[in-house]
């Protein structure tokens, strides 16, 4: 159903305000502040977006599509390590610029199929980047696609703690991490990481803590 012109204006204003507030404060930001910045009442916000997860999906679907495209573009890079490195830096940089996105990349919102379908595209692209860089001998053999969410969780914590005082601290973290992922840096196999199921459970639990699931 097509929204009336005023209702569509309110929806656009709410999405824009939520993008800004989530970017500054993370996904736990209060709805009152989003409604205030959008210039509407709380009732209007809840009428358009009755749950936090619905608002999160509306705000970040486009950004998740950007991540999927970035992975696909990295796969088109002729040099496997350059493609992998470029993608990791792109993701960490986008996290650093947007605290809401920093949260979202470490969460799973399974009740929003469009968002989760985009996440699946991202994961497929990442698996291809890991496989290619390992076959070329550039990436440590013990790295798995599930390791990137662990890096994103670490970077999200860094972003939240240094956003005001040291907004570029993530770049130092990225430099150390990428050097450590190179095959020549592997002095011994890394301990086993969490299973895919355990990682998914952790991401769902994080979403629940922020009110992004019901």
The pLDDT of residue 121 is 86
- Residues in the chain, overall count: 214
The pLDDT of residue 107 is 66
The pLDDT of residue 204 is 64
The pLDDT of residue 122 is 84
Name the stretches of the chain with pLDDT < 70.
1-3, 106-112, 196, 198-200, 202-214
Give the rounded distance of the alpha carbon of 157 from its chain centre: 13
Contact 90, 148 (CB under 8 A): no
**pLDDT per position as a tens digit, 75-128:** 999 999 999 999 999 999 988 888 777 777 766 655 567 777 887 888 899 999
Q: Which residues contact 30 (CB under 8 A, 6 or more apart)?
A: none
The pLDDT of residue 214 is 47
The pLDDT of residue 1 is 47
The pLDDT of residue 152 is 85
Q: Tokens 């670490």 — which residue?
A: 154
In 49-168, where does DSSP find H-type helix?
52-75, 80-97, 99-104, 113-135, 147-162
The pLDDT of residue 61 is 79
């Amino acid at each position: 159903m097509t929204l009336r012109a005023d209702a569509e204006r309110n929806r656009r204003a709410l999405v824009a305000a939520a993008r800004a507030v989530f970017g500054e404060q993370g996904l736990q930001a209060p709805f009152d502040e989003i409604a205030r910045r959008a210039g509407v009442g709380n009732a209007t916000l809840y009428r358009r977006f009755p749950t936090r997860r619905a608002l999160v999906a509306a705000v970040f679907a486009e950004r998740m599509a950007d991540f999927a495209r970035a992975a696909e573009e990295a796969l088109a890079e002729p040099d496997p390590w350059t493609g992998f490195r470029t993608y990791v830096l792109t993701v960490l940089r986008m996290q650093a610029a947007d605290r809401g996105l920093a949260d979202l990349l470490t969460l799973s919102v399974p009740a929003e199929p469009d968002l989760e379908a985009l996440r699946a595209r991202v994961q497929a692209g990442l698996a291809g980047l890991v496989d290619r860089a390992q076959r070329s001998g550039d990436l440590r053999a013990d790295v798995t696609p599930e390791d990137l969410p662990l890096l994103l969780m670490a970077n999200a914590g860094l972003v939240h703690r240094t956003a005001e005082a040291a907004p570029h601290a993530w770049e130092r973290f990225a430099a150390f991490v990428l050097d450590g992922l190179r095959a020549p840096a592997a002095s011994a196999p890394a301990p086993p990481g969490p299973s895919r199921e355990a990682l998914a459970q952790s991401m769902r639990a994080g979403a629940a803590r922020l009110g992004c699931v019901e």
